[in-house]
Structure 1
Amino acid sequence: MVEASARPRHYTTPPALVRRYTGDLSVESQRVRAQAGPIIADLLPPRPERPSLVASAGGPVTRILFTIPAYAVDSPPLAAAYQDLLAKLPAQTRFLVLTHESAAETVGGWSDRIDVVAGPDHINFSVWAEDGYVVVVDAGTTYFVEPFSFPRYGDSLVADLVANADPALERTQAPLYFQGGNLLIGDDFFLIGADYPANTLRYVGGILVPEPGERPADLVRRLYGEYLDPDRRLIYVGSSLPVPEQRTRRFTLDGAEWTEVLYAGNQPGTTQPVFHIDMLVTLAGRGDDGRYRVLVGDPRAAAEVLGTPTPAHAMPEVFDDIAAGLARQGFDVVRNPLPLVYVDDPDRRERWWYFATANNALVSDGVVYLPTYGHGAWPELAATDEANGRIWTGLGYEVVYLTDFHPFAENLGSVHCIKKYLARA
């Protein structure tokens, strides 16, 4: 459905804040990289003997990492979102913040709980602290585990910069393809979006060599466990239905021809309706019946709250299929409103569709921190903000509402994407 009038940004964003998936590996570059595997395999750092992933939900978060580049510090809407979040997180949480040298003094003044790591101004790291690694603990040591390749901006250097500055942190590497935002870690399981095991299959024969008689898919599953967490059950998340890839189409608005971008970030052959599962799935702990609860976003539920038709390109049937798959795995699945919205650029006559996701939230010790979207050009989304809050209250959580996250969401991320859990009590 095309609206009769434009909805331009009610905020300004810096040019350096580009889409979250920009710079990710293409299929061809993955294939070339895999062929180089045997040459550099001996150069990989040693891995933890018994890694245990830091959970996405559970006990109190005691330490958390943010990567806040200078462009975010200088951007009023981005800086306001960070300052609001830091002020609302619990008093026992320490913040480790990688920022640029030119912004270090400013960021250090945002909270007396911040430990600042000042990186060179010429390193172009992003706000997406979640993605370039996963965090595991082994024998009292915390490790950043990096994928075999992560070319996005200068984010592949974040673990090096932070670990070099903090003696309590180490880094290692796994010969696998993954990004932190496509993993969610529960108490005795962890979820991975199915696209990344599929990408890792391209490493077989190059980086990875199966044992005699071992199928490539079994090799990939085994190695995810060995390198990330052998004690948690690995569950893939994806849809068996066809998922549309990103495309553009023309439409007319106020007598002028415009272009709109649909299915943002979706690559050919994807099994995921959004390119990272943390945009559509939230872990919510175990209920009274012992089953683990997961929230799965529902575009239809959002449309019902807003009193509007469900956009055809909201892919509701794909989200339904993912929810059904998680239910078959034994989860208690709760559906929550996931609005599909857009931002308009009148100068370029371009409309960009994205999900105003409350699934991309922070969960800590009975408290959930929800991004909000009922602001500016989208005041009606206050209704879906509140509907999501009521769901969490019904699950026994205290709800803390955060400020406007449209500037992040239109770039395919939200609050869960701009942090990395380093430790829980």
Structure 2
Amino acid sequence: MALSMGQKAGWGLADAGIVVFVIVKQLLIVSYLTTYLGIPVAIAGFVTTIVLIFDMITDPLIGYFSDRTQSRFGRRAPWMFAGAIVMALGMVGLFMAPVEAAMGAKLTWVIAAFGMATIGFTMCAIPYGAQAGEITQNPRERSTMTGWRMAFATVGILVGGAVLPGLAGAFGFPIAALYVTPLMIGAIWLSLWSTRNAPRIETAAKTGFVAAYRLVFSNRTFVVLALGYGVMTLAVALITAGLPFAAAYLVVDDGQNALSGAAEALTVLSVLFGAFFVGAILSQVFWVLISHRLGKLWALVIGLSGYVALLYGLSGILPSTNVTLVAGVFVIAGITNGAYQQIPWAMYPDLMDVTREESGIAIEGAFSAVWLFGQKLANAIAPALLGLILARAGWQETTEGFVAQINAALEALQLAITLIPAGILVVAVFVLLMVYRPMAVRALA
């Protein structure tokens, strides 16, 4: 049965809430710990990585249990309904860390609250990804659904990357977090309501834990795609983690260009994320159409190649006093990033179908857990990697929001958000073309 437009859009709506926390953990956490809690950047990166590694451990369990859940609301909805609350409460708690406490107490608070938020995120994200393999088996419908998903995800990016920091500048991080939590919870709950009549697999899977994941890993084409997506995510997560520092230290508005007033009122970071939002929104229909015309793989390769070219160009622009020029670059960045955001999520459910058709077993939750494992591993590595790069170059922490940095530290930051991610994306393109493509041709024939 074909999905209605309301069901496709409704499924995508959940990501508007989920992505707010994704942006918090990728963009804000290291900067928050270093700039507002006064924690050295290497320790901040390490702590973030430890929590995210813990988050990865919970993925297989939640994927497995969601496959085995049976309720009148389906296998996935109960997890997402409860997870939205846990995620939001944990995020608010994270930003209520006591600034004046000893470092050990601050770190303990952050680890506990951040850990709670990541568990809630996993309760939402893994069942949500599994739904893409359940409610339709039509590859073109999945591309359209993912287009809606990424359009709403871009709203989440804007809220997490621009609105929340802007509110934090005016009211403080705790109040800002409280303001955005209704959107997080509401988007997820409204998505569940919108898709309540969509097709779904009602019967709980009976496969054991080990057998389920053995079946997933036997699908080698899927495993290669998941690894490739993890490589892409490492590049994007490194850029995202470094952006708050770049907005403060590498894009210093001189007050003489078109967006100077906006930068002064909203902060440079909010302006850059607003520009990114415009590009990402504009790109969603474009990437759906390119995927239909050229195929998902080639559309993704084109998008990633454009991303590499953009990062190389950005490395020549920074540091800059022209916030308008940099914002223009970020519009293009939003367009190229749209391919990374959208297309892999439309590709991997097609490979779920292969295993379900061959085995007769529906374990979309297990597939979703492995898929997110690569993404989360990259997100865990990126803060530690950025922290090591900056600490090695002499980066200084503060509790005042800004402190003068030496030239070597600023040069390291510039490299960490441009040429290093560009090199990582080149590796991802190589994996897609030389390893994944031949395997996918055979698997999906």
Identify whether the pair has TM-score above 0.5, normalized to the shorter chain. Answer: no
Q: TM-score, normalised by structure 2?
A: 0.24
Point out the structure with the larger strand share: 1
Point out the structure with the larger helix share: 2
Higher relative contact order (CA 8 A, sep 6+): 2
